[in-house]
Amino acid sequence: MSASSAPGSERRLLWLLAAVQFSHLMDFMIVMPLGPEFMRLFGISAAQFGVLVSAYTLASAAMGLLGVLWLDRFDRKRTLLALYGGFIVATLMCGAAQSHIALLVARTLAGACAGLMGAVIMAIIGDLVPPERRGNAIGTVMASLGLSAVVGVPLGLGLANLWGWKMPFWAIGGFASVMWLGLWKVLPPLRQHLSASREQVRGDSLISLWTPSLALGWLLTFSVVISSFLLIPYLSPYMVGNLGLETAQLPWVYLGGGAATLLCTRWIGRMTDRHGPVRVLASLLMGTMVPHLLFTHLPPSPFPVVALIFALFMSLTSSRVIPTIALISARVPPSVRGRYLAVNMAASDGASGIAAWMSGLMISTATGGALEGFGQTGWIAVGVSAFALCVLWTLGRSTVRLSAAPT
C-alpha cells in the first residue's frame, strides 16, 4: 500500500488501526474511573493512586526512549504485532492481579508496550497518508479516544459493577486478541522506510532527530500533555467527592464526554487539513483554558451541568493531540519517523506520568472524600497551556508550509 492508495483502502486500514488504538486507550482510561474503587479496595491514598496511573505512562515513556535505538530497523507490521502481543499478555495479567503491587507491575508492563504501539501506528500513518489528508487520518484514528469513552468506559464500568473490577481487563484482553488476528491477516508488510541506505539513515538520525527545531516538537508535546494530565486522572474522584455525583452516574458522564470527543476529533482533523495545524492548535490551547478553570472551580452542581462542562472539557482537551501530531510528523523523514515519534510518545507519556504524580502531591483527600487543592491545580494547568502557546509560536516561526514538508 502506498500513499497514493485509493481512499477506500486507506479508510479500512485507518479504522483497523483505530480499533487497535481503542483497545489500549480503553486499557489506560478504565483505570481512572475505577479510581474510587481501587482507593477503597486496596486502601490507597490519592498519591498512591497517582502512582498507579503514572506507572503505565512512565513505563511507556522509558520504552519510547529505548525505541529510538531500533524502531525503524524492522518491518512496521511485525513490530506492531510483537508490541500488541505483549500488551495483550500484560492486560490479562491486570485481570489476574490479586494485590495492589501485582496490579502495579502489570500496569507497568502494559504501558511499556502501549507507548511504542502508538508510535508505530502514527509512523504508519505518516508513511502511507500524504500531508493533505494526514490531519483527517489522525482524527480518524484518534476518534478511538472518544469511542473508548462513549462505548468502552461505560461498558467497562458496567462490567465492573456486575462482575467486579477485574472483568474490564479480561474483556479488553479478549477484544485485543481478536484485533491482533485482524492485523496479522489484513495489514500488509510495511518496509518502505527500510529502503534508505545505512548512511542515509545514520545521517538522518543525526540531522533530523536532534535539531533544535525538532526538539521543540518534543517540548510542545510535553507541555500540551502535562497541562491535561494535571487534571484528568482525578476527574472521577473530584466529581464524586466535590461535585456531588453518585458513582453510578459516572458512566453517563463519560458517555456524554466521549460522544462529544468522538464528534470533535473528526471535525478537528478536517480543520487541521484546511487551516493548518499551527492555527488549529493555537485555538485549542486558548479554548481549553476556560473549561479547565471552570471545571476545577465548579461548586456542587446538578448532574446535567456537570455532564455538559465535562463534555466541553474532554472534547477540547483530547482534540489537541491531532494538530500536534500532524505538525511534528510532517517534519521528519520516513527513515527515522518511527524513532522520532517514539521519543515524542515518550515525551507524551512522561508528561502524563509526571503530571499525575505532581497532582497527587498537590491534592489531598478530606474527610468524606472531597479533593482539596484541585482548583490550584487548574490554574497550573492553564499556565502550562500558556507556555505551550509560546513553544508553538517559536516552532511555527521555523516551520515551512505543511504542504512543502517532508513526507
The predicted model gives 42-54 an average pLDDT of 72
| Predicted local confidence at residue 397, as pLDDT | 67
| Predicted local confidence at residue 247, as pLDDT | 77
Closest CA to 74 of 217, 201, 209, 185: 201
Q: What percent of the chain has pLDDT over 90?
A: 4
Lowest average pLDDT, out of 198-202, 213-217, 403-407, goes to 403-407
Full-prediction pTM beyond 0.85? no
Q: Which long-range contacts (CB under 8 A, 24 or more apart) does 41-46 make?
A: 41/165, 42/99, 42/100, 44/100, 45/365, 46/234, 46/237, 46/360, 46/363, 46/364, 46/365, 46/371
Write the pLDDT tens digit of every residue in 203-254: 445 445 556 666 777 788 888 888 888 888 788 888 888 888 887 788 788 7
Residues 6+ apart with CB under 8 A from 123: 71, 72, 76, 193, 337, 338, 341
- Give one DSSP letter per residue of 308-363, joined into a string: HHHHHHHHHHHHTHHHHHHHHHTTS-HHHHHHHHHHHHHHHHHHHHHHHHHHHHH-
Q: Check whether 387 has a pLDDT greater than 90.
A: yes
SS3 228: helix
Backbone angles phi, psi at 372, to 5 degrees: -105, 135
Write the pLDDT tens digit of every residue in 343-355: 777 777 778 778 8
In the CATH scheme, what architecture does the domain 7-404 have?
Answer: Up-down Bundle (1.20)
Most confident of 73-77, 155-159, 299-303: 299-303
Closest CA to 347 of 221, 215, 229: 221
CB atoms within 10 A of CB 43: 9
